[in-house]
Structure 1
Amino acid sequence: MPSRTRTARYARRRQRRMAGVAHDLTAGQWAALVESWGGCAYCGSTAPGLQKDCLLPISRGGRYTLANVVPACRSCNASKCNTEVTTWLRRKRLDERAFLVRQAEVARALASA
């Protein structure tokens, strides 16, 4: 279990990373993403409380944009951590091609709406 100082240090580091990039995902776009996916983008779980997961993690230069965010259940989001999505999908033996095609379709449909 991490100590409180380590947890606080990680929280401050995340705040600095988040403040250092421009995020342009609106609440309306997030709601449309959740509706379009119909649950977790990775496992399909319809559990409440889906989280915003960046395909390219913020720690690796990603940001909250329509093309970079998908809804993820807590389990998938924690498992993926700051790994790039394709690496994580391969490790979990999930259908990488199907996910990427679906993600592109959803992003294209929402961008034109």
Structure 2
Amino acid sequence: MANATRRLRATRRRRRRLAQVEHDLEAGQWDALRAAWGGCAYCGARDVPLQRDCVLPISRGGRYTLDNVVPACGACNASKCNAEVTGWMRRKRLDERAFLLRHAQIRTGLRAVVPEAGPGR
């Protein structure tokens, strides 16, 4: 019973956080991100279902935007939870420098190709 109550409270908190900010990641942008990364942005897993993961978690002020979302496998997304990405990558012994460089390159490349979502779109 306590777990159900805790889960319900967490769900309500998440909904409130999501409602407080504007998320502007469109379906075409998400498709372009998945294609650019070619798999999980963190571990590189391919041929697995990918989830939208916020580099800066929503609980820490992040939003679903082209600059803040990367594709992640379920295991990496669940493991990262709301941790800061570089600290989490160090704990998992993943190459944070390579991730950050690739993330910057992909963001820059996609901004030139994929139009940003505007207000009311």
Say whether the fold is shared (TM-score over 0.5): yes
Contact between 1:54 and 1:64, CA under 8 Å: does it hold in 2?
Answer: yes
Contact between 1:47 and 1:73, CA under 8 Å: does it hold in 2?
Answer: no
How many Å apart are 1:49 and its aligned residue? 2.0
Q: Does 1:51 align with 2:48?
A: no
Distance 1:48 1:89, change over 3 A: same
Q: Within 5 Å, which residues of 2 pair with 1:3-82? A: 3-82=3-82
The AA in structure 2 aligned to 1:21 is V
Aligned length: 113
SS of the residue 1:52 aligns to: strand
State the alpha-carbon separation in 2 of the partners of residues 2 and 56 from structure 1.
Answer: 29
Unpaired runs of 5+ residues, structure 2, are 114-121
SS of the residue 2:53 aligns to: strand
How many Å apart are 1:2 and its aligned residue? 6.1
State the alpha-carbon separation in 2 of the partners of residues 84 and 63 from structure 1.
Answer: 14
Distance 1:41 1:2, change over 3 A: farther
Greater than 3 Å deviation, 4+ residue runs: none
The AA in structure 1 aligned to 2:20 is G
Distance 1:34 1:2, change over 3 A: farther
SS of the residue 2:30 aligns to: helix
Residue equivalent to 2:106: 106
Q: Does 1:91 align with 2:91?
A: yes
How many Å apart are 1:3 and its aligned residue? 1.7
The AA in structure 1 aligned to 2:3 is S
So what's the TM-score if we normalise by structure 2?
0.89
RMSD value, Cα: 1.3
Identity, in percent, stands at 65
